[in-house]
Structure formats: structure tokens, C-alpha cells
Structure 1
């Protein structure tokens, strides 16, 4: 794997990254506005605004790096009136004029885009959306997959099997299934959805008081906007009056909302070819906006595209320091250590320092394979050193040996009284462990400081934190190593470029801590979460990761073979059902079979009017009893299990340990939950038989057994504690089946009289209310009428008034504070809790209810992990903690110690928090994970 420092692996995006697309279209005007409002308001030394400009350029470069398009268009709104304003004079009348400091960045942005050699498009009389819609439609008609980079929800109407949206600021993708999941309607109904709601920002008239839920309900009930108009008399209540009063303006709303796809354009999508950049023009602009990173790109990369970032040269060595001016003009003294005297001087500085920053540079991102190439250190702001030990490119200078450097650092790194700060120190701890260093004295971790301070404010990697809290653009790893197949490992990067990058990591880390820690220390609840949960968990996770879990590759191979045979059999059955062989992964061929040959009903259409074959359509047709859609869905499920797990896991077995080693991430989930990757242990299926079979391949070492300890209904117990509802508290105190007890309460039955179906409905209510489910959602889940579902909800709150009161109070507190807290003081900030957009506000309100419970559950299991790890370290039982999955901890335990270990683990987990109801942990033992669960 490519080399990268721990600072570059500090967080994993919770969202999907774009893959390669032949055509990429960028909504530049939209991003300029978003960058202006979201990013720091930076200026150059002349006082000229540059923040939004630099933000957009970075987004454009990142998007190009990730997608490598053959054709690209950067589209701006042209000045002047558009056809929509001619249709409706009040269109966008509510929008304030463009701020002066944003307007002054527009011209430079366009000039730089053109100097980069990227096609820039402005078309009078229409908006950028219409130009993008036309180009995307033409590209799709030519069979070219197209990615539209935008944050505009209106663009969702363009999505189909060949057109995808990406929000570059959040890195989230929208394909047809994701559009329906997000908005509740498929792409072909987005125009109807938006027309009904109207748009206060664009001043598009809709139906007053019609929010997203109402729009979705009407479209589901009446089919489309025309159906809603035709059946307006059937809509009862005040909202029905609003609908009928709005009928005359709805066609206008649809016209204003619909993106044109037939704009007369002289350019075809294939004409959008990037050209060679104008280096001199770019140099002038980058100097003008004083972007060190962009200028470094230009000066260092003479070959290839000049907007491809690389790192500038010339770093003095030995005891000479490089003066690298930051964006604020402060000089950074970075030293490359190549002599014994310089190294000894730094060791003495570390001995005298109250706190010092530490970072490793390695040959790989995989902590189980990474070898240390160098280390960087900082004891004061703007001053740092890089100590290379293993750079091995032709002409590399002599360096201190790895043994010499690590040998001198080991006593300091292992001393708990020498306080260290780092960025994602778990990675450095694991890398040091491979080198025989048992790192202690972790006083601070800037990734975790940022995460605890505000889990949703930004990503928590160093580059993002430096931009947000220090207003600085740091050197990125790709700046010095390149990208893709040609990316260099760190030991092959010349010191002239590697040293400033590495030293900057330590310097920025120390300065970030100086900026973040006072803000945490000022909030006792946040300081408690940081000190008592997040920091102590770092060594626990490092040990768990390095311990790994054993998987039976023979069992997985047998499962893969079985899945392949069953998938092949499903293919033959599908061919027989279709009466012809076809590509089961081709929407076009599936559509021809479904709607031309078999004449299946059309459930939904693509934006071009063709019958849709999306996942949601397949599921609906399968539910309605059509065999071929069911066979295709089953085939996809089997092939996904095979590619994701049974084929992949054996290839991930480490050659030295014979085990699989995941990476746990503390700073990803907003609520405090851990996530994992490579492999993702959180998503291994459990509900299907095939998923459980995969868990059977997770096995202990000979002479040991698997023990799985799982919190029972922990979030419902937390709800009982937080709400203080007397009936819920009594049910848990009595050890009742809470779902049966709930069914008995709301139906007025004895617990013994509750049927399994009634218990299932109560379970859906119990968990649904935690996650903010409406009566409409409950009706869909249970397959009942909405009114019946509403009656269930009303009866629930009548019997559990404390729950209703808790929810109402939590919403009010969230509106007042703009955050909610867990039982232990973790905060989840809710920026949209008072938003004027009903959909965003409702989503924030649902989060406000759920986050205290889910976050408290996350805090509790983290506390349990710390307690169990301390017991293992103290008493050295034959027990290994090997996995954490949601509310479950998994262990490898020697057979003779099972009974004692099970009792002790349950006691520690149940004692991780004191609630008004007892915490209950269920522990199972087996020859594999499935048996133990």
C-alpha cells in the first residue's frame, strides 16, 4: 500500500467516494456560494477575500483526482435575467444581492479555471442547472456515465441509471435508490415533490404548509402532481383548503422547478476536453491569492497537469532550518535531522518539555505492515523536526539508523510521565508496537479533541482541522507522493519534499492542540468524555486491532463455492422465466425483458420517461408476486455476500498472525459509536441464514472458545432512565419482556394474552419512536392503514406519558441550546434545529430524540471496553477482547476459563453505568461467532 502518515488516516468518510466517470459536470456557481458560507473567511495580505475561491479550487481538484474524467465542464450562471424571471417576475425575488466580498472572488475563480485548461461554460437566458441538465442528458443518451457535482436538491430530478449526483462538500452520492431514500420519491417525481412544497429561497409558489412528508404522502396516494391536482377535493382539513387554493399556481411551480434538458448548445459533452494549463497565468494568480499549496503545486510539478498537486523542493538539511511562511505570515522553522549532534539536542529538548508532538511516517497505511520511515517532533509552535531513518531513493543522503533513533526515543515514548500529543495516535501506537515500543503517556489526540468538541462541525483529519481552526492550507500527502498507480511510498520521496510535509504534521498537531484544548477544558462535560472515555479507549482499540480475529478460510471458500453455485442456478431460473439469456446487471436489458417481453407493470419512470428498473422497483414488483424481479434481487444478494465477505476475507488474513485485523474509528459516527473498516465488521449480516453462515467462519484458536456478550435492549433502557416514565421503569425493574409489556399496555391486555403479531407491532413502535418514526412510517413497516398506526402511537403515548414529555422537553432544549447531550456529557450539535426548511428541521428534531440514547449506549460500551481491558491487563486471564460490534463485545477465552470469564465480563459490562433500570448483558459461548451470539 502507499505510504502515508497517521495524520492522513485519521478519519474515514461515512459516505461513498466517487468512482471514475467519463463525464463530470460541476455546478461552480452553487459551490462558490456554499464555500463562501461554509469555509473560513480568508484574505490575502492586500485584504482581498480568497476563502471561497480557494475552497472551490480545492473541491474541483479533488473531484478531478477521484474521477479522472475524459470530459469535464465547469458551469457558471450567466449574468442577466433568465427565462424563469420572464415567466414569473418574482422568481428569486427574496434572494439578497451577492455580497461584495463574494462577487470579488467570482472573476478570479473564472480566470483560474480557464488557466487550468478546464472548459468553462456560461449560457445567457438559462441557469447553470439547465446547461448541466442538457449536457448530462446528451451524455447519457450517448451511453456515457455522468457525474454532476452539486449541492442543489433540484438536480435530483436528473438522476437515472447513467446520471449520478455528488455533493463534493459532504462527499455523498445520489443514485436513483439514494434519491428515493433521501426524499421519499424517485427521481422522476422530484419535480412534483418540489412543486408541491414550493421554495422560499427561490420564491417558487407551492402549497402553504405542505412539507416533505405531506408531499410524499400525496404523491404516494395520487401518483404524481397531476393526480394530486385531480383529486384535490379528496384532501381533508386545512391542508386540503391550502391545496385547493393553490391549484392555479401549481403548473407554474412545476414549470419553474423543471430543469431544461434541451438548451441549444454549440458544445456536445464529448467536446468538453481539458487543455494544457497556462503555467504563467496560474503562477500569477496563485501568488496573488497567496495560496502556498497551489503555488507549490505549480513550482514542483513541471510534468503532467499543473493543477496536480506535488510538493516544492529545496529543504536545507542538518542544523539549518527552513522558513516556510504560513498564510498568516508567521515563519515556520522546520529542521531535518541527519547528524548525531542534532538528534541528541532534540532528545534533550523532549526530556525538558512538558508536552511534545509525535508523528510517524511509514511505508503503508496498514498498521500491521507499516515500517517506520521517519518520525517528526515538535515542542513549540511553528518549530518542528523531521528525523528520517529509511529513505531509500537513489541519491538519498546518509541518515541515522532506525535502531539508533527508535532506541533513543523508546524510553521517552514508554514513559507515562512524558506527555505526548498526536493526531490519530492509535495508528502511531500500533506502528510503534511493531517496532517493540509500548507507547504510554498519551496526553492528547487532536483528532479526538475535534471530535469531542463538535462531532459534526468538520471532518477530523489534520488538513480539515488546520483549515477550520488555524485558517491554514497544509501540504497534503498527494502533494508530495503523487496519485494512483504512480504514487510513491514515503521511503521513495526525496527529503527535500518529504521533510517539510512531515515536520508540518508535528507542528500543526501541537498548534491544533493549543487551539482546541482550552475550548474543551472550558466545558466540564466535554472534558469528562475526552479524559475518561475517548483517550483511555485509544490503547484498548490498538490492542484489539493488533490481536485481530481468526477466520476459517476453508469454510469461507466452501461458502463461496455454494454461493456461486446458487447464483448460477438463479441465473438459469431467471433466463427460463425471461425466455432468453440476458445480462442480469444491465438495467437496459432488464427493462427490455420486463416491459417489452413480459409486459410487467410500470412502477416508476426515469427522467427520460423510460420505465425504471431501480432496486426499489424490483422490490415492489417482487412484493406483488412477479418471479423474475425476485430472482434478480436474490441473485444480487448472493453475489454481494460473495464479493464482500466470502471471497474477500481470506485475502485479508495477515501472513504473520494468520488473523484478520480491522481498523476501528472513533471519530466518524456523530453519536459516538465506533465504526470499522478493512474489513467492516459492523455490517456482517445477522438476519439472513447466509449472513449467519459468514459469522460461523469467525473461529477461536485451538483450545479456546468464542464468547459474545451483548447488551439487551440498551437504548430502550436508556429511554426509560432518561424519560423517568413510571410504567417503563416498572416493566424493566420486573424483568418483563418490554415489547410484550408495551403491547399489553397499549392494547389493554394481559401480557399472557398478547399474540406474537401484537408483540411485533409493539416492538416496531418501541424502536421506531426512538428513531423518530412517524405514524406514516409505522404504517408502511407494519403493512397497516395510517390511521391504525396513528391509533397505536396515540395509545403508546397515553400509556407512557413520561416518554412524550421527555421527547417534547428534548426538542425544546435542543432548540434553545442547538445541541443535545448524552448521560455522560457528550454533545451532538444540531445546526438545523431551527432551520426554516421543514425537512431539515424535522430531521434535526428526530436526531435530537435519538442521539442521547444512541450516544449514551455508545458511551456505555466504550466504558465497558475500558473496564474489561483493565481487568485483562491487571489479572492476565486467558482472555482476548477481539471485536466490538454495535452493542456487543466478542472474546476469545480458554475453555477452562469460560465460566469465570463470562461472569466477570457480564459484571463489568453491567456496571459500566448506573441507570434507573438494570443493564442486562446476555453472554453466549460457542465454537464460532454465530454459535456464541
Structure 2
């Protein structure tokens, strides 16, 4: 007979996770609801999934605990709880009780101690105890009768004794020793300096326990051993602080203590819950509970900071009946083909043998036209148990007319990848109408957009994990070896979840004109254009790169010798530890800042500052830059040439950055350094084939032009409208000199001010950039804002509006969420305010280059030209142009790029031409 379950939820652990995991949701009265929504979703799911008889949701109580008496600095460095999270505490307690959960707060102890005490009592009284937490400290509670579950991990994680050992490298009864050695920076509990998880686990394995490690401290060598010996007097106190107490007296807080009867789960208070859901705007849950929505309020609604709370994660009202069919006969395939021919929209998904879209070949295909129902066609599954399958080529021939019919609307998750896969088989899919990844990206760019994450967030469904299906690491099997029945379940689920997600997400996008424009006119067309750019690739001169690698290798050897001479000894130029010892211990250079472990930092910012006065940091910086250039580009690019095309094919990630900018991967073509001669030489290897040339078309000063448009500052508008040098015009205003008397130094200062301010730079940052006193920098900024008052007004109004709404917008309606602008601590809130100033400009620039790419590609297609877009880099499009089309490209591409939007200042795209990318600049 199975034991009854006691389910203990670490409410304090999940509060912050829910707060940071969701956008800044708002209820009907403008109240913050993100953390409330996350906790409700989790508590509902836990109650449904675990099947507990007794339970409690435990929160930290206000005020000090016994640990503060032991160690006054305990948690002293923790930032205060954000105001908008604090405002959600009482509603969270209220709704958790309405959901039938006992809520527990015990003054004088932490939630961990209450959980530890209840876990021990529950196990002793014959319960199987499950602790829901994201806190590694509670791993010390795990026994055969106590396990941990973390539903907010991706994928959800469950730890028994074996799981703790696998995750941390020590068993549960040594977690206290493990935590003591590492310390806890969050709680301000020192450990042994420079001892992390691996070292702590290794020492415990070698010496059996913390006591064994301390007893053998003299035998442990190196810096870690020295640090251990320094910490010996502290470690007993550290152990007390990290030990969860399991013997607290909960009398007066748990009725009937020490019996657990008061912790029986209660029925849901449906009446109270309906009122709560209505009050906080949880419409979907309210409809699930009552079958109807509340009447709309008559008074004006407060400005909403995010999509309606009902758009966030909501479990379905009832389990969806799922039927996934494996298609092994022509009759089955024909029946499904008739179904998708008649459907207004069909979700389509491929299973392949590679994540590289240019290389991947199809293993199977799935379809869905409605939630809960899907079909999977296995085509290349192998193994002794694999059934006889329809032939791949014949199936693709049967599907090709439908796939290439633009009138047959299709839906997918990351459709750009699937487009490549079908193209590898000679099929140019047409009719892709929707992409759930892009729908999520447009609605909530600051979150993750994988299908499993979307399903969990919006549908309350946990899909099959790929690693559960295929394994991971060295033991991972190819998808072709997955059992066909399991493959059907996995792929069919992907397709039908797409249908269900799109039905939920698309109406939210279509309800907002700006979001709908970004989705339909920017992101979807950009996906199709990018697929073509990726497929075209760029021609690389491998021999030129190899020669550059040889030159760089010689330079690196010379720099190494120069650094050794300055240091007076050899050292590892790639070792931060050895560099730190040379710079700070041997040469006695000033320590600029320290790492989290207290060691002097040797990061680039530090070296850059030291390099102004000392030669060795300058040599190290130069060495690092050339070594990175060599390993990332001159060595690697020739190895990435696709043997079938002779070209390098990057992948543009479309749903990564919150501002809408694209990200280039494998290889990253957007981060080739161009401030050094060596970096620019790498661009020489990006060449045109015979009879062609490279053309670069780049928006000029695009973010400053957007600033002029948004701020409507008369001075900036006039400078751009009259075609002036905007930095010279700025210098003229700031320094009070005629335009023709501005010096090059004054123009440089003005340029730094212009670009600094659009990134939210303050006096300190400007002083650092210009190498001047902070007071002088402040004077320059004050003078700038006096002359350009519209810019100051824009910055102030934008920060204020962002703090009110929780997001800023581009000119086209893209929303850029800034979660920290309300709830972050001082530095994080200040960072979000700086981002609020720049994000509308950077985001609008991203929108413009995407619109330009689409407009140019459409015109090339309409004219049947052979010119091809081969790269997109920030505000630049790069083309491979037949010589016969060069005049047209030079004249028309700038016109097309300038014409994608009408601003209050002219958009200007400048064109360069050359035999290679560097020459085209």
C-alpha cells in the first residue's frame, strides 16, 4: 500500500522565480499580477499532479531569525524586495488559501526551517514527503522518504537520493558540508575563497566529510589549500548558518501541533476564487471556473503594462483528448492529404537528422489541423523493431504539390528551419502563414520561445522532452532510431500544440494594430528573406584566411615574448589567475575591482583602464584580441565552408534579442572586429565570384536620425534636414562656436556625447569615454540639454512612460519589455531606465533594416535580377552583384531602403562597392 503524500511548497523560493519569469502583467485596476499568476499556475498544477493528502505553502515571515543573532551580517547584502513584488504578497497568500492550501509563516525562523521540521515529522508519521522548491539548500533534507521537485526548472526536475548525488556530486547527508565549503554569496555566508562546486565535491569525496577536510587541511596544496586554512576558524559558523533546522516548535502556527491534521488539503473555495479571478483579471481561469466572463467595467481602464493577464500561462479546463496516427499505408496518407487539402490552416513539422538546416535530411513529417489530433509519417526510421515505411521520395513527390501551393496555408514553429529542410529535398515550401515562435517573440520577446516552453507557459502542458526520447551526451541516439510509436507521439504533439498555441496567441497579436504590423509586415516576411540569405551564403577565400592565421600566429609569439620581458618571467597569457599574480602580486599594479570571490579582476575593462598607464596590460589586451580573432575567424571560417556549395552559411536567429535585432551564429558574421587593421583584413576574405562585386548598403547615423524624429528637437531636425554633419552641428551648439570653426577635437567630443546620450550615458560614463573630469562631462551634458531641450524632454518622458507601462515601443509598435524598471533594485532600475531611452531607437533601427531587406528582396524578385543579399550586419545589407546589374543596385537599393518609412528627417543609405567586403566599405 502506497504511503500518503505530504506536499510542502517553498513559497518564498518560488515568489521571486514567478516574479522574474513572467512579464509585468496588470489587472483591471492596473495592479501588478505577474507573480500572483505564476504562483497560481504552479499551485494548481502541483495539486493536480502530485495527489497529496496533506500540504502546506510556506513563506518567510517578516523580521529577523535566529541566524541574524548568530551572524549579524547574514543576508546583509540582499537587495530589498521590489515594491511591485511586495504588493503581490498578500494577494498570493489569499489566493493560495482559496485554492485549498494551508499557508504557513513562522516568525523567528526561515521557511526552510519550517519545511525541514514538517518534512521530518511527515516522514516519521508515515508520509512520503515531496518538497517543491528551487533552493539547493533543501537537498540536505532528502532521504528515502523525502524528495524534491522543481516545477519551474526546464524540464521539471525531481531529486531523490540518487538524483542529489548525480546533480551535486555528494549525497544528501553531505550537502551541508558541501554548502559550507562553497559559502552562499546570496545570503552573505562566506565559504572557502575560490572553492566552487567541483572542488567542494572533490574534497568531500577524498576526505569523507567537512570534518575530514578540515582535519587534512595541511595536506591540501595550492592556493585553494591556503584559503582553506585561512577559513578554518569560520567554517563551524558557516556550517551552522547553512544547516536547515528540523526541530522547530511550530506550536501556535500549525493547529494541533505536532499532528498534521491541520495540513489536510481543503476543497477549492470556488465562490471566493471567482471573485479573486475577476478582481485580478484572470479571465481564462474565471471562465474555466464559472463558464462565463465578468461584465466589462464602465470606467476607463488604467493603462495596461503588458498583454492581459489572461494571456499568460493557463492550464486548459479539461485534459485534451489526443489521437495521433502513424501513417504506414498509402490509404492513410491519402486520407490525411485530403484533410490538409481542405483545411484552412495546417501545422507542419519535420523530424530530421541534424540541427543544421542546410545539412538536415527528413526522418519523418507530422501534420495537425486541430488541437488533439495529428498524424506522423515515419520515413527513415531504422532498427529491428522499425515497421515497413512508405518510401521517402515517393511520399515527398505526393506532398510536393500541396507543399508548394501558396494558397494552402501552413503553420509551424521556426518555419525558417523547416523551409531549409524541405529545400534540401528539392521542395520550395510556399504558403507559410504563421509561426508560433514568432508569435511568441512579438508578444513577449523577453521570454524563451521554444515549443515546450510555450506549451508550458500558455497551455499548462509539458511536452515530451527530446532528451527523454533520444538520451543526451555520448549516449544520445539519432532520431531515426527512436521507436516509431514514440516518434509519432513526439512529433504529433509538436504539430498539434502549434495549432493550439496559434489559436491562443494570434488573436492577442491581431487585437493590437502595432503588434499585428510587426508580426505580419516585419517578422514573417523577414523569416522568408533570411532563409534565402542563409541559403545563398557568402564566398570565402580560404587561402587568404590561412595566410592571415600564419601572420597572426607570428604576432602572438612576438607579443608573448614582449609580455614575458616586461613581467620578468614567462606566464600563461590565457590564465586570469596567473595574469593576476603577475600584475598585482609581482608588479604591484593597483587593483581596479574584484571578482565575486574577492580576487583582483583581470577582465577587459580592468586591463583597459590599467593599459592607460602600464605597458603589460596593453600587451595582454592586444594578445587577447588577436588570439580571439585567430581562433574565431581566421582559423575557423575555412573549416566552416560547406563542401556542397563552397560557401559559408550563417544562421540568423530571429527570436533572441528583445529589441528585434538579428543574431548571427555559426559563424557570427556580425561581431567581426573592425576597429583594428587585423579585424578589417578578415573582411577581405569575403569575396565576390568572377564577374561579380560586393556591394554594401548601410543606413547612415540611423539611431541619431530616429532620435531626431522621436524627440522632435528643432536643432537635430534642422541638422538632418539641411544635410549638415550632425556631430559638427552638435559641437557648434555645445561649444558655442560657428559651424565652420568647429575643431576636430570638438567634433569628437560632440560625437561621443551624441552616441553616449542615446545609450543613456551619464556624466560618469562620458567622463570615462573622453578621459576628462566628471564635472567637465556634466557641464557638457548640461550644455547639450540646454541647446537640445527636445532630447532632454524625450528622455524624461520615455523613462516616466516606461516606468508606468513596463515597456517601450518602436515607431512600428514593437514592444520592448523592461521588467527591472519597476521592481529592480537601484542599479538594475537605473540600467532599465538607460535601456528605455535607447531601446525605441535600436528597436526601430532593427525594424527598418528588416523592412529594407524585405523591400529590396521583393524588388529583386519582381525584376528577375540575379543580385543576391548575402549578409545582414546591424544596419547594413551586403549584396553579391553581377557587374551588369551594378548601376541599378547602386541607384535603386538606397532609394528602396530610404523609402520603407517616412520620418521627419531623411533616411539615408550609403553604398560602397568592391571586390571584397572590406573594399566595399
Q: Which interval holds the TM-score relative to the shorter structure?
A: 0.7 to 0.9
The match for 1:663 is 651
Tell whether the 8 Å contact from 1:549 to 1:661 is kept in structure 2 after alignment: yes
> How big is the shift at 1:780?
1.1
Write the distance in 1 (CA, Å) between the matches of 2:853 and 2:346. Answer: 28
> How big is the shift at 1:412?
1.2
Which residue of the other structure, out of 101, 108, 131, is the alignment partner of 2:130? 108
The match for 2:468 is 479
**Does the residue aligned with 1:331 lie in a helix, a strand or coil?**
coil
Write the distance in 1 (CA, Å) between the matches of 2:470 and 2:588. Answer: 55
**Does the residue aligned with 1:48 lie in a helix, a strand or coil?**
helix
Tell whether the 8 Å contact from 1:80 to 1:124 is kept in structure 2 after alignment: no
Which residue of the other structure, out of 487, 491, 513, is the alignment partner of 1:524? 513
Write the distance in 2 (CA, Å) between the matches of 1:811 and 1:409. Answer: 53
The match for 2:451 is 462
Superposition pairs of residues 119-518 of structure 1, within 5 angstroms: 119-120=171-172, 121=175, 137=193, 139=195, 263=237, 265=239, 328-456=318-446, 458-518=447-507
Deviations 1:200-250 (A, max 9, x none): xxxxxxxxxxxxxxxxxxxxxxxxxxxxxxxxxxxxxxxxxxxxxxxxxxx
1:552 aligns with 2:587: no
Give the direction of change, closer, same or farther, for the CA distance of 1:836–1:596 in structure 2 (3 Å limit). Answer: closer
Superposition pairs of residues 628-777 of structure 1, within 5 angstroms: 628-777=616-765
> How big is the shift at 1:650?
0.7
> How big is the shift at 1:116?
4.4
The match for 1:838 is 826
Give the direction of change, closer, same or farther, for the CA distance of 1:143–1:88 in structure 2 (3 Å limit). Answer: closer
> How big is the shift at 1:675?
1.1
Q: Over alpha carbons, which structure has the higher Rg? A: 2
Which residue of the other structure, out of 564, 573, 579, is the alignment partner of 1:584? 573
Write the distance in 2 (CA, Å) between the matches of 1:516 and 1:587. Answer: 47
> How big is the shift at 1:595?
4.1
The match for 1:82 is 66
Which residue of the other structure, out of 810, 815, 818, is the alignment partner of 1:827? 815
Write the distance in 1 (CA, Å) between the matches of 2:321 and 2:198. Answer: 53
Give the direction of change, closer, same or farther, for the CA distance of 1:108–1:574 in structure 2 (3 Å limit). Answer: same
The match for 1:575 is 564
**Does the residue aligned with 1:884 lie in a helix, a strand or coil?**
strand
Write the distance in 2 (CA, Å) between the matches of 1:386 and 1:477. Answer: 16
Tell whether the 8 Å contact from 2:546 to 2:635 is kept in structure 1 after alignment: yes
The match for 2:871 is 883
**Does the residue aligned with 1:686 lie in a helix, a strand or coil?**
coil
Tell whether the 8 Å contact from 1:41 to 1:49 is kept in structure 2 after alignment: no
Deviations 1:550-597 (A, max 9, x none): 111001101111111110111122222222222222334334433444
Give the direction of change, closer, same or farther, for the CA distance of 1:386–1:587 in structure 2 (3 Å limit). Answer: same
Write the distance in 1 (CA, Å) between the matches of 2:442 and 2:45. Answer: 36
> How big is the shift at 1:33?
3.8
Tell whether the 8 Å contact from 1:881 to 1:891 is kept in structure 2 after alignment: yes
Give the direction of change, closer, same or farther, for the CA distance of 1:472–1:754 in structure 2 (3 Å limit). Answer: same
Tell whether the 8 Å contact from 1:361 to 1:374 is kept in structure 2 after alignment: yes
Write the distance in 1 (CA, Å) between the matches of 2:526 and 2:666. Answer: 20
Write the distance in 2 (CA, Å) between the matches of 1:640 and 1:124. Answer: 36
Superposition pairs of residues 764-913 of structure 1, within 5 angstroms: 764-835=752-823, 837-913=825-901
> How big is the shift at 1:744?
0.2
Give the direction of change, closer, same or farther, for the CA distance of 1:384–1:400 in structure 2 (3 Å limit). Answer: same
Deviations 1:737-756 (A, max 9, x none): 00000000111111211111
Specify every segment of 5 or more residues in structure 1 that has no aligned partner in the other structure, as ranges: 1-27, 54-75, 147-258, 270-287, 289-324
**Does the residue aligned with 1:708 lie in a helix, a strand or coil?**
strand
Tell whether the 8 Å contact from 1:709 to 1:888 is kept in structure 2 after alignment: yes
> How big is the shift at 1:776?
1.3
The answer to which of 37-46 and 701-710 deviates more is 37-46
Deviations 1:455-513 (A, max 9, x none): 11x20111111111111111121111111122122112221322211111101111100
Write the distance in 2 (CA, Å) between the matches of 1:393 and 1:326. Answer: 38
Deviations 1:684-740 (A, max 9, x none): 111111110111111011111000000000111111111111111111111100000
Aligned residues: 715
Deviations 1:841-873 (A, max 9, x none): 322222222121111111111111111101111
The match for 2:920 is 932
Tell whether the 8 Å contact from 2:74 to 2:188 is kept in structure 1 after alignment: no
The match for 2:135 is none
Deviations 1:233-287 (A, max 9, x none): xxxxxxxxxxxxxxxxxxxxxxxxxx97664549999xxxxxxxxxxxxxxxxxx
Q: CA RMSD in A?
A: 3.5
**Does the residue aligned with 1:396 lie in a helix, a strand or coil?**
coil
> How big is the shift at 1:807?
2.0
The match for 2:215 is none
1:920 aligns with 2:908: yes
The match for 1:275 is none
Write the distance in 1 (CA, Å) between the matches of 2:893 and 2:178. Answer: 69
Write the distance in 2 (CA, Å) between the matches of 1:471 and 1:396. Answer: 33
Superposition pairs of residues 39-78 of structure 1, within 5 angstroms: 39=38, 41-42=40-41, 48=47
Write the distance in 2 (CA, Å) between the matches of 1:785 and 1:772. Answer: 19
> How big is the shift at 1:609?
5.9
Write the distance in 2 (CA, Å) between the matches of 1:925 and 1:432. Answer: 34
Write the distance in 1 (CA, Å) between the matches of 2:236 and 2:607. Answer: 31
Write the distance in 1 (CA, Å) between the matches of 2:73 and 2:621. Answer: 49
Deviations 1:87-142 (A, max 9, x none): 66998999869956597996623532452421444699999658995556373599
